[in-house]
Amino acid sequence: MIIERPAAFVTPEFLIRLATESWEIGGAASLRHRTFVTEQGIFEGHDRDQIDKTALPLVAISTMASEADEVVGTVRIHEVPPGIWWGSRLAVAPDYRRVGRLGAELIRLAVGTAHGRGCEQFLAHVQMQNVPLFEKLNWVPLGQQDLHGHPHMKMQADLAYYPPIADPARGWMSLTRRRAA
> Residue 34's domain is classified under what CATH number?
3.40.630.30
- Does 8 fall in a domain? no
- Does 177 fall in a domain? no
Per-residue pLDDT at 151: 96
Domain that holds residue 87: 13-168
What's the domain count of the chain? Answer: 1
- Does 180 fall in a domain? no
SS (H, E, C) the chain: CCCCCCCCCCCCEEEEEECCCHHHHHHHHHHHHHHHHHHCCCCCCCCCCHHHHCCEEEEEEEEECCEEEEEEEEEEEEECCCCEEEEEEEEECHHHCCCCCHHHHHHHHHHHHHHHCCCCEEEEEEEHHHHHHHHHCCEEEEEEEEECCEEEEEEEECHHHCCCCCCCCCCEEEECCCCCC
**Under 8 Å between Cβ of 122 and 159:** yes
pLDDT along the chain (181 residues), means of 10: 56 88 96 95 93 97 84 97 97 86 95 98 96 97 94 98 96 71 47
- Does 176 fall in a domain? no
pTM: 0.89
Per-residue pLDDT at 7: 55
Per-residue pLDDT at 81: 94
- Does 76 fall in a domain? yes
- Does 126 fall in a domain? yes
- Does 73 fall in a domain? yes
Q: How far apart are the first and last CA of the chain?
A: 23
- Does 173 fall in a domain? no
Per-residue pLDDT at 64: 81
